[in-house]
Structure 1
Amino acid sequence: MTSTKATLVLVGGGWHVPASYSKLTNALKSAGYEIHVPSLPSTNQTRPPNADLFTDTTVVREYVERLVDAGRIVVVIMHSYDGQVGTNALHGLGQNTRSQKGLIGGISYFIYMSAFALPKGGSMIDKVKEFGHEHLMPLAFDFAEDMSCVSRDPKLLLVGPGVDENEVEAYVSTLVRWNGNGMYQELTNTPAWKDIPVAYIYTMQDMTVPLDYQKSMVENLEREGKKVYTAELDTGHCPNLTATKEIVDIIDDILAAGKAS
């Protein structure tokens, strides 16, 4: 095992719990990274749900704030829904912003992994409506009356090709019911990407956050004057499982070369 490099915080997607990312976290640890995967309250499976985007926002901000206040330089990796959480939660914690205030530590990079990189006031459902896909929502997601939901076909819609059936079964078994209100809630804070370098990992075969959505979000950031380093993976929505080595290589590449700066 190599010596410890950067401190990574992985903010997981809807339906996912920390155990869902074990393949990626183990690979990152083997590559020399310290990795944190905070649990999100919106996946606590309480019925009716008692936590949402804003609860997740508070938890993630407090978690990362403790690390940066201790002087850590942190890289935040966000997957799927939790692009919203990180974007909403982490404004003002960028390394450069904190340095200008005489504070140590900070977030050096945001890495969106097929994740929602949205503006203030934006939501996941806005992106769905932008592409006229509202009619597909009931086909993809099974919502209960209390708005908790699951993916109707996680093997196809979330995982996709790239790993054997046993791995898929083990992965899907970690997924839990999630508060689907997170798809409809709007970001209320200044987007954290405004003062933090950004990279975006496209997943080319994604059936949950289609490539068109991903590209439109990056284009919107670029229209805001944001430089975005991008990488492409020919895989589905969960590259943490289906393209694990490639994700580690991309993170190594981004951080070694400073490509998101």
Structure 2
Amino acid sequence: MTRPESRPTLVIAHGAWHQPASWAATCDAVAERGYRTRVPALPSAGKNPAPTASMYDDAEVIRHELSEIDGPVVVLAHSYGGIPVTEGVAGATNVSHLVYLAAYMLDAGESMYSFHGMETPSDTSGTFPLMENPREAFYHDVADELADQALGQLVEQSLRSFADTVTTAAWQDISSTYLVCGDDRSIPPALQQTMAARATASRTLDTGHSPYLAAPQRFAALIDEIIQSAPVAR
């Protein structure tokens, strides 16, 4: 078992329309297991994100966060967060493992639009609308009080971040685990399975889109297990 003092730092990339605060319960749970965490705010999500806020801006924030950390790092990406992680972690020398949680694990040349077979809009300024029922899509298996709190924290998401194309894929050179959420009502599990085939390893969870909110302690135990069984250095 990895000693607490030698455990990697866990850097978390939150999903679209979300903020770092949504990960507070899981950060507390992994801290009990000896992990330091960082959840940088991605500029594409906010109350008033810049009209030109891009996936590349998000990737640069992640890249900078990694540069500030001494010692090994494991990067955990959720949902949209998988795209800037794939872009921004490429070339990082201190990242030992990637965890994609119901996340977009795209390859170079792909964007969220192209991956879904959609045409990229000619005007990518402005924001991408939130789905009609985010409670059902994101939190259908989350307790009512926590779901209501999470819904109240949702913000706007720049449209451009969904349209930007990945130029390099970190998972080509860094080992990875894909966590398929088998009862996901946001990203279809079959689509997640397609991306999971790109990962070094994968697991299927019997959860909705946000297990880090639905069961933080159980999710933290899973992350701890994955990290301890993965290489701690490249």
- Normalised by the size of structure 2, how large is the TM-score? 0.88
Residue 108 of structure 1: SS of its match in structure 2?
Answer: strand
Worse overlay, 120-129 or 17-26 = 120-129
Determine what percentage of the aligned residue pairs are the same residue.
Answer: 28
| Residue of structure 2 equivalent to 1:116 | 104
Larger Rg: 1
Alignment of 1:142-157 (within 5 A): 146-157=126-137
Q: 1:212 to 1:54 in 2, by over 3 A?
A: same
Cα drift, residue 30 of structure 1: 1.6
In 2: Cα distance, 1:208 partner to 1:180 partner: 17
In 1: Cα distance, 2:164 partner to 2:25 partner: 30
- Name the aligned partner's letter for residue 78 of structure 1: A
For residue 205 of structure 1, the aligned residue among 183, 206, 216 is 183
Aligned-residue Cα RMSD (Å) equals 2.2
Q: 1:234 to 1:199 in 2, by over 3 A?
A: same
| Residue of structure 2 equivalent to 1:160 | 140
Q: 1:52 to 1:45 in 2, by over 3 A?
A: farther
Q: 1:66 to 1:259 in 2, by over 3 A?
A: closer
Residue 81 of structure 1: SS of its match in structure 2?
Answer: helix
Structure 1 or 2: larger helix share? 1
Alignment of 1:1-261 (within 5 A): 3-4=4-5, 5-46=7-48, 49-67=51-69, 71-93=70-92, 98=93, 106-129=94-117, 146-161=126-141, 163-188=142-167, 190-219=168-197, 221=198, 228-258=200-230
Residue 151 of structure 1: SS of its match in structure 2?
Answer: coil
Q: Deviations over 1:2-45 (max 9, x none)?
A: 94532100011101111111111111112211000001111133
- Name the aligned partner's letter for residue 34 of structure 2: G
- Name the aligned partner's letter for residue 178 of structure 1: Q
Cα drift, residue 65 of structure 1: 1.9
In 1: Cα distance, 2:64 partner to 2:125 partner: 31
- Name the aligned partner's letter for residue 72 of structure 1: G
Query: Comparing both chains, which one has the higher relative contact order based on Cα–Cα distances under 8 Å and sequence gaps of 6 or more?
Result: 2
Cα drift, residue 203 of structure 1: 0.3
In 1: Cα distance, 2:175 partner to 2:125 partner: 40
Contact 2:9 2:74 in 1 (8 A): yes
Any stretches of 5+ residues in structure 1 without a counterpart? 99-105, 135-143, 222-226
Residue 164 of structure 2: SS of its match in structure 1?
Answer: coil
Cα drift, residue 233 of structure 1: 1.3
Cα drift, residue 47 of structure 1: 5.8
Contact 2:98 2:171 in 1 (8 A): yes
Cα drift, residue 196 of structure 1: 0.7
In 2: Cα distance, 1:167 partner to 1:182 partner: 27
Cα drift, residue 253 of structure 1: 1.4
Any stretches of 5+ residues in structure 2 without a counterpart? 119-123
